[in-house]
Amino acid sequence: MTDPEGRSPSASNVVVPSGDGVPSMAEVEALRALARALLRAQEEERGRVAHDLHERVAQSLTALRLGLDASPIDAADRERLRTLAADVLRDVRRLAVELRPTSLDTLGLEAALRACARELRALGGPEVDVFVALPMRLAPMDATLLYRVAQEALSNVARHARATHASVVVLGLEGAIDLVVEDDGAGFDPEWLAPEARTGLTAMRERVAGAGGWWALEAAPGSGCRVHARLPVR
C-alpha cells in the first residue's frame, strides 16, 4: 500500500544514523518503540492529571459553590462569586476531558471523536461529520494516537480555518488504518506558515511517524485543508 505520491506509508520521517550514516531496521524499530513508550507515558500522565482535576479541584469548587449559598454575605457579591465558581468548574471539567476523554476508554474512538465534534460546535466551531468504519479492534495506543491527531486537526480548524463544515473519517483498510480530517475553510499556503504556527502540524507528524505511520497535509489558500494519517495495523 502506498500514499498518493507512491511512497510506502510504513516509511516514516524518522532518521537515526548508524555508523555508516544509514539507519538500520533495528535502529528504526528501536526508535519507534521508544516513541511509543514515550506516548504511552504521556497519556498515562494526562490520565492522572485529568483524574486529579475532576476528583479534587472540581469537587472543591462544587463545595465552594454550596458554601457560598450558605454564607451571610451580600446577595450581589454571592451571585458574582457563584458565577465565577461555576465558570471555573466548567473550565476545569473541559480541561479534564481534553487531557483524557473518558469516552475514549469506556466507549471507544468513534464516541470520543463525536464528543470532540460536539464540543467544537458548542464553542462556536463548524459542524463536524464523523464517520468510523473499523473491521478490527484497535490497540489502545493506536486509538489514542488517532484521537490526538484528529483533536489537533479540529483544534486548528476552530482557531484558524473560518470553516462552516468539517469531517473526520476513520477507515480500516487492508493492513492499515486511515484517518482523514477535512474542512471547507479559508485554507493556507504551508510554505508560508510562521514557525509558531507549525507546532501542531509537527506534533501530528511526529506522533504518526513514531508509530511507523505516514502523515500528509494538503492545503491551499481558498481551498480548505486536508490532514491524512495512515497507521499500520499491529
Tens digits of per-residue pLDDT, 99-118? 666 767 788 899 999 988 99
pLDDT of residue 133: 95
What CATH fold (topology level) applies to the domain 25-232? Heat Shock Protein 90 (3.30.565)
pLDDT at 229: 95
DSSP 194: -
**pLDDT value, residue 28:** 58
- Residue 125 pLDDT greater than 80, yes or no: yes
Q: In what order do the strands lie in the sheet with 176-183?
A: 127-133, 165-173, 176-183, 225-232, 214-219
Q: 33 phi and psi, to 5 degrees?
A: -65, -40
- What per-residue string of b and e applies to 189-222 under the rule 16 or more CB within 10 Å gives b? eeeeeeeeeeebbeebbbbbbbbbbbbbeebeee
Are the C-beta atoms of residues 216 and 3 closer than 8 Å to each other? yes
Mean pLDDT rounded to a whole number for the chain = 77
SS3 217: strand
Residue 13 reports pLDDT greater than 70: no
How far is it, in rounded angstroms, from Cα 36 to Cα 42? 10
Helix 58-70 and helix 75-99: axis angle, to 10°? 170
Neighbour tally for 155: CB within 10 Å:
15
**Portion of the chain with pLDDT greater than 90, in percent:** 28
**Alpha-carbon 43 to chain mean position:** 12
pLDDT of 79 higher than 60: yes
Decide if pLDDT at 66 tops 60. yes
Residue 120 above 50 pLDDT? yes
- 186-217 pLDDT per residue, tens: 999 988 888 777 888 888 888 888 888 999 99
